[in-house]
Chains A and B, each alone.
Chain A
Amino acid sequence: MRVALLPTEHGGSYRFVMLALAVVGILVSALPVLVVTIMSFSATDTSGFPPSSYSLRWYGDVLQLFTSDDPSSAQSVVDSTITSLVVATIVMVISTGVCIPLAYALARGQRKVRAGMELLFTLPLVFPLVMLGIAFLLIAESLALELGIWRIAIPHVALVLPFVLRNCLSAMNGISVELEEAAISLGASPMRAIWDVVIPLMKAGILAGLIFALIISFNEFTITFFMYTIDVNTLPIWMYSRTVSSLDPSTLALSVFIIAADVLLIVLVDKLIAGKGNLF
């Protein structure tokens, strides 16, 4: 226990101030999500807090949105959700597929190659999202590219690469080269050694990378905001267009489903990389 960082007793003013600041941080993080969750159970459609009575009517509305066909609206929530999931799946598969060999190359390659490559693949992390959105939009528009779903999938892949690579790399760092050499000395080809020894050992990191890519792509708003079209739009864009003028409680109920899915996936990642790597 780190007594001196956060003393459990005799802390005096230090302990009080530290805990107070931490509590403020927790409140700022958690309150918006909590309020959305509480309001989604409201029985009325006013946004006054707290709700005067509770019901599940908005959840019923969400179910209806998903089950009933509404040919009148151009953007159906079902189409947007399917597009979101398809994009997220493409992004997951591509980003993880390219990051596994890259992590291997970085871990087993020479030091000087590694530093430069790591920097290069961290760039999308610090590049302003709004500029990425605009840049991709300008390219697609001025070259008149017909990309379909790839309009959104290509920028998303670039966006998630740093996160996926981080996870694959920390998994790769824990695998000693002796294991591979043992497999090779027993007659396996180098590729076989990678496939049968290294990849299975990387499994937790690969899974964490896959989930990270899924969460980020599924929740991404900024880039998609610039790239979406009437035919290709994702769930966050559908939610935006529905609530741009006023907040509609059924969107809150839909939000609760998204919150639940995200929490579940984060817990899963946290379990997978427990104690070994950092979240990012």
Chain B
Amino acid sequence: MSTTTLKTWQAYAFAAPAFIALLPFLVACVFILRFSLSGESTAIEGFSIRAYQDLMTPFFGRSVWLTLRLALIATIAVMFMAVPLAFLLTSLTSPLTRRLLTVTILLPMILNLLVQAYGWTLLLGPSGALNKVLQSLGLIERPLFLLFNETGVLLGLIQTSLPLAVFPIVSAVRGISREHLEAASSLGANNWRVLKDVTLPLLRPALVGAGSIVFAFNASAFAIPLLLGGRRVQMLGVAIRDMISPLFNWSGAAAAGMILILMTLLVLVTSAWLVRVTTEKTKG
């Protein structure tokens, strides 16, 4: 008897407990889809696409547009910071500094989102740290309003999604062979040329992958716009919550949720396809 590969039934037997643990999640996915097609707004009753038709309002359209716009801006900002941070993380030689930087970057994604929101409130508020510093430098006269508007939400999104980009890029940077870079610079390319013509093209699959995950994460953000945007920044997550809580429009919330899920899936699938196509092209 060979132990190198499990028989299919054995593999499924080993996977069964995990499958049971995942089952509520799968049921939840199906449930949301079914509820979005319900004829009633508070119970599953019959089939209808009315919930989707009711969403075709300027209000919902604005919410979708705001969500896409903020998620895109946050993703671009994140990518501009993530690449240098990944370079920095991989070139640090002291284990202590490397660990310190790892914790600093990872913490915002894992830490209780309320704590982050407190931090941003204290930083960006009218008498907060940022306004105090800018005023004492004489750059502004009156405090800037940074909280409960798009600026605060954007900063929060950037902060919490940065680790999602940095760590995959770090593993990709580790995979770049030094010979490539040395060859380029020994042929006289300066640092910017090496970055543009060698490093970034080699990192492209990781960049596209990380960018799409950051975008999906930010498009479905809920706690950050709720806590930092107040009622004024109605990203989809918050808009969906409002359908549930004050309005009791359950099927509407389910339909809006399906649209959100489809949007994020579309971005993820398209980017996975892009990566596959471009890597095949460079190979061929």
Contact = CB atoms under 8 A, between A and B. Distances in A.
A binds B: yes
Interface of A: 1-7, 11-15, 17-19, 21-22, 24-26, 28-36, 39, 46-50, 94-95, 97-99, 101-102, 104-106, 108-110, 113, 117, 120-121, 123-124, 126-139, 142, 154-155, 157-158, 161, 165, 177, 180-181, 184, 190, 193, 215-216, 218-219, 221-222, 225-226, 235-236, 239-240, 243, 247, 251-252, 255, 258-259, 262-263, 266-267, 270, 278-280
Contacts of A2: 87, 90-91, 173, 178, 181
B120 A32 contact: yes
Interface residues of B, number: 105
Given A225-B223, A258-B111, A259-B115, A5 B18 contact: no
Nearest to B180: A4
Interface in B228-275: 237, 240-241, 244, 250, 253-254, 257, 260-261, 264-265, 268
A134 B85 contact: no
Contact of A26 (B21, B105, B132): B105
A4 B191 contact: yes
Interface string B12-47: 111101101110110111011001000000011000
Contacts of B195: 14
Contact of A29 (B43, B80, B91, B162): B162
Given A135-B31, A247-B122, A33 B213 contact: no
A32 B80 contact: no
B142 to A, nearest CB: 16
Would you call the interface of chain A mostly helix, strand, loop, or mixed?
Answer: helix
Question: What are the 3 A-B residue pairs with the smallest beta carbon separation, nearest first?
Answer: A32-B119, A128-B220, A25-B81
B240 A1 contact: no
Interface in B77-100: 80-85, 87-88, 90-91, 93, 99
